[in-house]
């Protein structure tokens, strides 16, 4: 396998959490700073971040510990799943059609010793969680698509 250098640059912020997502046939990079401010940039078809073109910016309600994008293939909604840096808050943001983040769900919980993820099956949002101390696991279903 060959590794080819594609791009480098400097942002005016340090993004402590980053993620990629694809919506409406286009690719995007989201960077979230330690203070919770975010920016979304387009990614062109060659994999290059168009760093001078900020599509959207704003602030999430929390500092980031873990960050993932999930897509509901049934209705096309795309969500950003965030656990805060103190690992006490789980937030789920909808990535809107105009590429802003809208808080859809937030839960205060001590997740320090809990592994978990959100997933979507047949237009239903679920959260799987497992305790590292007791090994017990559970699944919750959320009805956030009934807008």
**Mean pLDDT for each 10-residue chunk of the chain (147 residues)?**
91 91 92 90 96 94 78 83 74 89 79 68 78 83 60
Q: How far apart are alpha carbons 25 and 13 in whole angstroms? A: 27
- Residue 2 within any structural domain of the chain: no
Q: What is the pLDDT of residue 71?
A: 85
Q: What is the pLDDT of residue 109?
A: 67
H runs (alpha helix) in 34-117: none
Interior CA angle at 143 toward 136 and 29, to 5°? 85
Q: What is the pLDDT of residue 147?
A: 43
- Residue 52 within any structural domain of the chain: yes
Residue 55 φ/ψ, nearest 5 degrees: -80, -40
Give the structural domain span for 41.
15-142
Q: What is the pLDDT of residue 61?
A: 77
User: CATH no. for residue 107?
Assistant: 2.130.10.10
- Residue 10 within any structural domain of the chain: no
- The answer to whether the CB of 82 falls within 8 A of the CB of 70 is no
Domains held by the chain: number: 1
Q: How far apart are alpha carbons 141 and 107 in whole angstroms? A: 13
Q: What is the pLDDT of residue 110?
A: 58
pTM reported for the whole predicted model:
0.79
């Amino acid at each position: 396998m060959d590794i080819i250098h594609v791009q480098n640059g400097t942002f005016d912020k340090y993004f402590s959490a980053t993620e990629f997502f694809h919506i409406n046939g286009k690719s995007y990079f989201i960077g979230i700073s330690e203070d919770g401010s975010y920016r979304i940039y387009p990614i062109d078809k060659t994999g290059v971040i168009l760093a001078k073109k900020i599509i959207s910016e704003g602030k999430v309600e929390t500092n980031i510990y873990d960050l993932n994008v999930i897509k509901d293939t049934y209705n096309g909604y795309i969500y950003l799943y965030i656990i805060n840096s103190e690992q006490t808050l789980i937030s789920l943001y909808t990535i809107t059609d105009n590429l802003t983040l809208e808080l859809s769900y937030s839960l205060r919980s001590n997740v320090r010793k809990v592994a978990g993820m959100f997933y979507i099956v047949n237009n239903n949002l679920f959260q799987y969680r497992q305790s590292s101390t007791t090994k017990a696991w559970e699944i919750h279903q959320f009805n956030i698509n009934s807008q």
